[in-house]
Structure 1
Amino acid sequence: MAWLVLIISGVLETVWAIALERSAGFSKLVPTAVFGVAAVLSMLGLGYALRTIPVGTGYAVWVGIGAVGTALVGMVALGEPANLPRILCLVLVVAGVAGLKYFH
Structure 2
Amino acid sequence: MTRRFGRALSGQRAYGTCPQQRGRNVSLIGAIALRGVVASIAIMGATDGLTFEAFISQRLVPKLWPGACVVIDNASIHHCCISTSYRRTSRSYFTLSLFLFP
TM class by shorter chain equals: under 0.3
**Which structure's relative contact order is higher, taking Cα pairs within 8 Å and 6+ residues apart?**
1
Q: TM-score, normalised by structure 2?
A: 0.26
Rg bigger for which structure?
Answer: 2
